[in-house]
């Protein structure tokens, strides 16, 4: 089928556009600067210095000390290092929220941990969290902002409860979706471990970081040359790290302006779709209160519409969007996040995640508003009762 004339990228939570300044900063390290930062010559020292500079920038962006920044291959490695790193060292019980990313949820479950319920908005049930805490708990992991629906967790309250009821527990927070939208340094000030991933805020894929506060007991998962102060081995991705720091700096510097601008776009998008699609539900939002959401996320559930089919029609019309996380084969799987929020399975099959980013424009929203209601109507015309309520 021929490609559409106009297009709108509405999948920034999956991966956002690289910021031009981050790309510029990365290129020299991919071309004429080959050295390994652990080397002994001048070129190596240049690479080393670039990483050291980047570490300082990341520390400022994340409210940490430079020595507390551990560079990783991305968010999943950072999350795995946090959960397994603490569990391997200290044993005990890991606790996480039901809506955590699989990169936290799977390690938690594999360590035999406890999963804490969330409410209909996706906010962690603080009473349930309190109930899950005892002296055996060594790690509590609660994300700053959710990757599917964008729910922001009350980190200060989480930290207060954990410190009170499980004072020996380490606190991890997955901030992978947060840096573009939220003051991560402030929100995670009480956490011991914080994960970020560069490609979610304008850096490249394949690089991330874990903040490991001084004094946090953590076993390395990837061992070898000990490059990241024995907490993570492997030659650093110099260009990626440099670009990540530039992107982080830009994200933090432009954050308030981005949030203000994109929230307006998102509200126009969400309100427009809710008005134009009969029966559309803004997932986990009641009375239009989006205060618990990051500014870029619009998540809808459309009864009698199947996401897989809808996404194809959107793609044909130039819109890149998503429903939920994808499995290895590319097929859509029912979302554990929506299930945890109490969304019925058949409604969850009609989920639509539209995520805006730092580069989103009014034209993106215009196209989405022009295309999505008609696509939903087309599919509803074909929906059979069996599909509506299996």
Task: Find the shortest distance in angstroms from Cβ 346 to another protein.
Answer: 9
Residue 347 interacts with another protein (CB under 8 A)? no
For another protein, the closer CB: 40 or 328: 328
**Catalytic: 301?**
no
DSSP-assigned beta bridge partners for residue 70: 210
49-88 positions binding another protein, by CB under 8 A? none
- Residues in contact with another protein, counted by CB under 8 A, come to a total of 21
Name which of 225, 103, 96, 107 is nearest 170 in CA terms. 96
Q: x-or-dash pattern for another protein, window 281-320, by CB under 8 A? A: -------------------------x-xx--xx-------
Residue 330 interacts with another protein (CB under 8 A)? yes
Contact 265, 368 (CB under 8 A): no
For another protein, the closer CB: 194 or 376: 376
CA angle 190, 13, 9 (to 5 degrees): 155
For another protein, the closer CB: 180 or 307: 307
Tell me which stretch binds another protein (CB under 8 A): 99-107, 173-181, 194-202, 324-332. 324-332
Given 5, 40, 287, 331, the residue binding another protein (CB under 8 A): 331
Residue 329 interacts with another protein (CB under 8 A)? yes
DSSP-assigned beta bridge partners for residue 210: 70, 195
Contact 190, 161 (CB under 8 A): no
Task: Find the shortest distance in angstroms from Cβ 329 to another protein.
Answer: 4
Q: x-or-dash pattern for another protein, window 363-382, by CB under 8 A? A: ---------------xx-xx
218-237 positions binding another protein, by CB under 8 A? none
Tell me which stretch binds another protein (CB under 8 A): 59-67, 256-264, 330-338, 350-358. 330-338
**Rounded to 5 degrees, what are φ and ψ at 52?**
-65, -40
DSSP-assigned beta bridge partners for residue 97: 116
Beta strands in the chain (DSSP E): 8-9, 69-72, 93-97, 114-116, 137-141, 170-174, 193-197, 208-212, 280-282, 297-302, 319-320, 351-355
- The rounded distance, in Å, linking the Cα atoms of 362 and 374 is 19
Residue 1 interacts with another protein (CB under 8 A)? yes
For another protein, the closer CB: 17 or 370: 370
Q: How far is CA 158 from CA 123, 152, 200, 269, 321, in A?
A: 11, 12, 24, 32, 32
Q: Which helix (H) or strand (E) holds 27?
A: helix 20-30
Catalytic pick from 96, 298, 301, 327?
327
**Catalytic amino acids?**
327
Positions that interact with another protein (CB under 8 A): 1, 306, 308-309, 312-313, 327-333, 378-379, 381-384, 387, 390
């Amino acid at each position: 089928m021929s490609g559409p004339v106009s297009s709108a990228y509405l999948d920034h939570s999956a991966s956002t556009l690289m910021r031009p300044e981050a790309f510029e900063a990365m290129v020299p390290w991919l071309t004429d600067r080959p050295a390994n930062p652990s080397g002994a010559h001048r070129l190596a020292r240049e690479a080393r210095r670039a990483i050291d500079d980047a570490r300082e920038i990341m520390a400022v962006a994340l409210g940490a000390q430079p020595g507390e920044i551990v560079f990783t291959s991305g968010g999943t490695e950072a999350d795995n290092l946090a959960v397994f790193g603490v569990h391997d060292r200290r044993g005990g019980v890991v606790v996480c929220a039901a809506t955590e990313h699989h990169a936290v949820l799977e390690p938690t479950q594999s360590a035999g941990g406890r999963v804490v319920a969330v409410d209909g908005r996706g906010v962690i049930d603080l009473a349930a969290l309190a109930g899950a805490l005892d002296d055996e708990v060594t790690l509590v992991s609660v994300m700053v902002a959710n990757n599917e629906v964008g729910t922001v967790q009350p980190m200060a309250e989480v930290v207060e409860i954990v410190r009170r009821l499980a004072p020996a527990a380490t606190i991890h927070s997955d901030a992978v979706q947060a840096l573009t939208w939220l003051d991560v340094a402030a929100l995670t000030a009480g956490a011991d471990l914080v994960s970020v991933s560069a490609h979610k805020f304008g850096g490249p894929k394949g690089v991330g970081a874990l903040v490991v506060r001084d004094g946090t007991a953590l076993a390395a998962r990837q061992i070898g040359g000990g490059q990241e102060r024995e907490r993570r081995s492997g030659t650093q991705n110099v260009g990626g790290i440099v670009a990540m720091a530039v992107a982080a700096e830009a994200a933090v510097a432009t954050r308030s302006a981005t949030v203000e601008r994109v929230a307006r776009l998102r509200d126009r998008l969400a309100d427009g779709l809710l008005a134009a699609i009969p029966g559309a539900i803004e997932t986990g939002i009641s009375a239009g209160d989006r205060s618990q959401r990051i500014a870029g996320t619009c998540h809808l559930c459309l009864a009698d519409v199947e996401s897989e089919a809808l996404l194809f029609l959107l793609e044909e019309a130039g819109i890149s969007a998503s429903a939920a996380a994808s499995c290895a084969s590319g097929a859509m799987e029912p979302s554990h996040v929506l299930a945890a929020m109490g969304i019925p399975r058949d409604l969850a099959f009609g989920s639509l995640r539209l995520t805006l980013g730092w580069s989103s424009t009014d034209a993106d929203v215009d196209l989405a508003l022009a295309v999505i209601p008609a696509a939903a109507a087309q599919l509803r015309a074909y929906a059979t009762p069996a599909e509506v309520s299996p």
